[in-house]
Structure 1
Amino acid sequence: MKVAAIQMNTKADKQENLQKAERFITKAAEDGAIFISLPEYFNFMGPDTEKVQNAEEIPGGETYQLLSSLAKKHGVYIHAGSILEKYSDEKAYNTGFVVSPEGDVVAKYNKLHLFDIEINGMPAYKESNTIQAGESSATVELPFGKAGLSICYDLRFPELYREYALDGCNVLCIPAAFTQYTGMLAWEVLQRARAIENQCYVIAAGQFGSHAPGKACYGNSMIIDPWGTVIARAPEGEGVIVAEIDPSTVKQARESVPCLTHRRPELYKVK
C-alpha cells in the first residue's frame, strides 16, 4: 500500500495555499497513494497577529470542506498535518486531523508540545503566545494498521511515540514546519531514531523554504521504514513523495529485535 508526504512552502495567502494543496493531493492520489499527509500549518503561515482570525472549525471550516471533498473524490485518507483550529478570542489550537474516504473526520490531535525556543542569534519562537496546548494523544485506524498522530516539536519527546508503539501503532505521523537551523542539526536523526526505537514507519511531511522575513523551514520530508532506512526523501522545493508501506516489515523488525517486549519500566526514573 502506498503512502505520500507533501512538502510545501506555505505563506500567508490561505486561498493560494489551499489551491496548491489540492494540486499536490491530486498528484499523490494519481501516484497511487491511499494515505496522504500534509505538513504542519499547511493552509496558513502568516503573522502571529493573524493566527486567531485564520482559525477554523474542525469539522466545518473551508479547509475541512476541501479535504473532505478531495478524500471522497479520490477514495483516499488525507492527513491534514495541522491547521489552526478555533479555541478562544486570544488563542487557537494547532490541530492535525485525518479525513476518511467517506469525507469524515476520523481522528483529531491538538499539538501537545509547543515550540517556545530562543537560540542565541536566531529569531525567537513563542508558539504558546497564540496556541493552546492539547491534552491528549490520538491514533487512527488505517488500511495498513494504526497510526499515531503528532506535530513537529513533539518529535523531541520520545515518550509520546513509545506510548503509540505500545498501543499497537505501526506508523508514526510527524508533520512539521521545522526551522532551517534546528532542522540541519536534528531533523533526520530524530525522525530515524523514532522509527528505529519504536519499529514503526514514519511519515514526515515538512514545510520548506522562507515563509517570513528571517524565518525559513528545513524541508527534507521523508518516509522511513521500521529499520530506520529513508525510503523516500523530498528534494529541495515543493512536491510529493510516495513510498510503499508493508505491515509485515514492522512484524519482522519487532520479532527480530524485540525491544518493545524486553522493556523494564520498573527500572526507569521517568515513569
Structure 2
Amino acid sequence: MTATRFTAACVQMRSGRDALENRDAAVALVREAADKGADFVQTPEMTSLVERDRTSLFDKVGPEETDPTLSALREVAHERGIVVQIGSVAVKEGDKIANRAFLIGQDGGIIASYDKVHLFDVDLPNGESWRESATYTGGNKAVLAETPWGMLGMSICYDVRFAALYRALAEAGASFLSAPACFTKQTGEAHWHVLHRARAIETGSFMISAAQGGLHADGRETFGHSLIVDPWGRILAEAGTEPGVILAEIDTGLVADARGRIPTLKNARPFTVETASAAPAKRAASA
C-alpha cells in the first residue's frame, strides 16, 4: 500500500558562479533538511550554477555524466535514505545547454529527469532582458515521476505560467506538482504567490517549489520565497529571501478530498472557439 504522508522540504539557495561552492552549499542544506526530518527534499532551479555570461557558462558546465552536483546529491540521497529532487542543473547538449531537473530515489538512483519546456524570452520595463532560447534548448515532454507517496509532476520556473501543463500532469495522475525556480525579483513580487496558489487550486494538487533568493554574484536578483502550497491553495510553508530550509507535512490523501469538492478535472468538457463579427452598421435612409 502506498504511503500518503511525508515531510517535504524546500532548500532555498543563492547559487553563484562557482559550481563546486554551489555543490557544497546544496549538499549542506539537503543534509540539514534530512536532519530536520524531511523525507523529500527539493533544491531550486540552477542549483549548480547561476551565471548569465554565456561564454563563462559554457566553460563551466559539462555533460550530465560528469556534473558534480548531480553525483554529490545522489550520494546524499542514498546516505540519508531520502528522495531528492534537484530543481535543475545546467548540462551541455551539443551547442546549447539543457536546463534539467532530476528526481533521485532513496537508493541514489535517478528515477526521472525533465528538461524545462518553456523558455523565458522577455524585455522587462526596468531594462532587464532575458533570452533563454539563445543559450538553452527547450524540452518537449511533460514528466510524471513515481515516489513512495504518489506521483510527482515535474516542471521548472517559467513553466508555472502555462496552466495546461499542470492540468495534463494532474489528469495523468500527479498528486503533487513542482516548479523549482530562479524567478526574478520583479516578476516574483508580482506573480509568484498567485501562480502557485492558482496551479494548486486548479488541479487540486500540492505545489512544492524551492527557489533562488537574493543578489547573486552575476548581478541578478531573485525573489526567493520558496513555497509549499496545499490543494486548497493554502500556503503551508514559505521562505524569505535568505538561503535555508522550509518544511511542511504533506498528506496526499487530501488531494482526493479537494478534487471531490471541486471536480474541475472531471467536469472539463471539450469546446470549440467561435469568432463572431459585428454586422455592418446600417445607414439611416435619407429623406
Fold agreement, TM-score > 0.5: yes
* Aligned partner (choices 122, 143, 149) of residue 144 of structure 1: 149
SS of the residue corresponding to residue 197 of structure 2 reads: helix
SS of the residue corresponding to residue 81 of structure 1 reads: strand
State the distance in 2 between where 1:72 and 1:91 align.
31
Deviations 1:130-161 (A, max 9, x none): 10111111111111110110000001100000
TM-fit CA distance, 1:15: 1.1
Structure number, greater radius of gyration: 2
State the distance in 1 between where 2:124 and 2:241 align.
25
Q: Is the 8 A contact 1:175 1:204 kept in 2?
A: yes
User: Structure 1 residues 43 and 259 mapped into 2: Cα distance closer, same or farther (>3 Å)?
Assistant: same
In structure 2, the residue matched to 1:254 is 259
Gaps of 5+ in 1: none
* Aligned partner (choices 40, 43, 54) of residue 38 of structure 1: 43
TM-fit CA distance, 1:254: 0.9
In structure 1, the residue matched to 2:271 is 267
Q: How big is the alpha-carbon RMSD for the aligned residues of Structure 1 and Structure 2? A: 1.4
User: Structure 1 residues 99 and 268 mapped into 2: Cα distance closer, same or farther (>3 Å)?
Assistant: farther
- Comparing 25-34 with 41-50, greater Cα deviation is found at 41-50
Gaps of 5+ in 2: 1-5, 275-287
Query: Quick one: which amino acid aligns to residue 143 of structure 2?
Result: A
Q: Is the 8 A contact 2:87 2:102 kept in 1?
A: yes
State the distance in 1 between where 2:232 and 2:65 align.
36
State the distance in 2 between where 1:221 and 1:61 align.
24
In structure 2, the residue matched to 1:67 is 73
1:80 and 2:82 aligned? no
TM-fit CA distance, 1:51: 2.0
State the distance in 2 between where 1:235 and 1:267 align.
42
In structure 1, the residue matched to 2:199 is 194
- Comparing 74-83 with 208-217, greater Cα deviation is found at 208-217
Q: Stretches of 4+ moved more than 6 A in 1? A: none
TM-fit CA distance, 1:267: 1.2
In structure 2, the residue matched to 1:96 is 101
SS of the residue corresponding to residue 245 of structure 1 reads: strand
SS of the residue corresponding to residue 175 of structure 2 reads: strand
TM-fit CA distance, 1:54: 2.8
Deviations 1:102-154 (A, max 9, x none): 11111100010011110123310111111011111111111111011000000
Q: Is the 8 A contact 1:201 1:226 kept in 2?
A: yes
In structure 2, the residue matched to 1:19 is 24
TM-score for both structures, normalised by structure 2: 0.90
User: Structure 1 residues 269 and 24 mapped into 2: Cα distance closer, same or farther (>3 Å)?
Assistant: farther
In structure 1, the residue matched to 2:280 is none
State the distance in 1 between where 2:98 and 2:216 align.
20
